[in-house]
Structure 1
Amino acid sequence: MLWYQIVFLALIQGLTEFLPISSSAHLILPAQLLNWQDQGLAFDVAVHVGTLIAIITYFRKDIVQIVVAWCLSLKGQQSTSDSRLAWWICLATLPACLAGLLFDDFISTHLRSVEVIAYTTIGFGVLLWLSDRYGASNKTEQDFGIKSVLYIGFAQALALIPGTSRSGITMTAARFLGFGRETAARFSFLLSIPLILAAGGLKFIELMSSNTVVDWVSILVGVVLSAISAYLCIYLFLKWLNTIGFFPFFIYRLILGCALLRIVYV
Structure 2
Amino acid sequence: MDAFQAVILALIQGLTEFLPISSSAHLILPSALFGWPDQGLAFDVAVHLGTLLAVVVYYRRDLLAMTGGSLKGIRTSTMNSELRLTLLVGLATIPAVAAGFLAKDLIENELRSAMVIAVTTVLFGVLLWLADVLGARRRGTETMGVGSALLIGVAQALALIPGTSRSGITITAALALGFRREDAARFSFLMSIPVILGAGLLKAKDLAESTVPVDWLHLILGVAVSGVVAYLTIVFFLRLLDRIGMLPFMIYRLLLGGVLFYVIYSATALS
> What's the counterpart of residue 133 of structure 2?
133
> What's the counterpart of residue 192 of structure 2?
192
Query: 1:200-245: per-residue Cα shift (whole Å, max 9, x none)?
Result: 0111111011112100011001100000000000000000000001
Q: State the 1:260 CA deviation.
A: 1.3
- Aligned equivalents of 1:52, 1:235: Cα separation in 2: 15
The farther-off stretch of 30-39 and 145-154 is 30-39
- Aligned equivalents of 2:78, 2:34: Cα separation in 1: 56
Aligned partner letter, 2:163: G
> What's the counterpart of residue 110 of structure 1?
110
- Aligned equivalents of 1:76, 1:254: Cα separation in 2: 51
> What's the counterpart of residue 176 of structure 2?
176
Q: State the 1:106 CA deviation.
A: 1.3
Report the aligned-residue RMSD: 1.0
> What's the counterpart of residue 100 of structure 1?
100
Give unpaired runs (5+ residues) of structure 1: none
Alignment of 1:219-258 (within 5 A): 219-258=219-258
> What's the counterpart of residue 217 of structure 1?
217
Aligned partner letter, 1:19: L
Query: 1:133-156: per-residue Cα shift (whole Å, max 9, x none)?
Result: 111011111110011000000000
Alignment of 1:23-34 (within 5 A): 23-34=23-34
In the superposition, the TM-score normalised over structure 2's length comes to: 0.96
Aligned partner letter, 1:97: V
> What's the counterpart of residue 79 of structure 2?
79
> What's the counterpart of residue 3 of structure 2?
3
The farther-off stretch of 62-71 and 187-196 is 62-71
> What's the counterpart of residue 162 of structure 1?
162
- Aligned equivalents of 2:18, 2:239: Cα separation in 1: 14
Q: State the 1:36 CA deviation.
A: 1.2
Give unpaired runs (5+ residues) of structure 2: 267-271
Q: State the 1:29 CA deviation.
A: 3.0
The farther-off stretch of 144-153 and 256-265 is 256-265
Aligned partner letter, 1:196: I
In the alignment, structure 1 residue 69 sits paired with structure 2 residue 69: yes
- Aligned equivalents of 1:34, 1:115: Cα separation in 2: 18
Aligned partner letter, 1:121: T
Aligned partner letter, 2:261: L
Q: State the 1:31 CA deviation.
A: 2.2
Identity among equivalent positions (%) equals 56
> What's the counterpart of residue 52 of structure 1?
52
Q: Is the 8 A contact 1:155 1:169 kept in 2?
A: yes
Q: Is the 8 A contact 2:32 2:263 kept in 1?
A: no
Q: State the 1:76 CA deviation.
A: 3.9
In the alignment, structure 1 residue 20 sits paired with structure 2 residue 20: yes
In the superposition, the TM-score normalised over structure 1's length comes to: 0.98
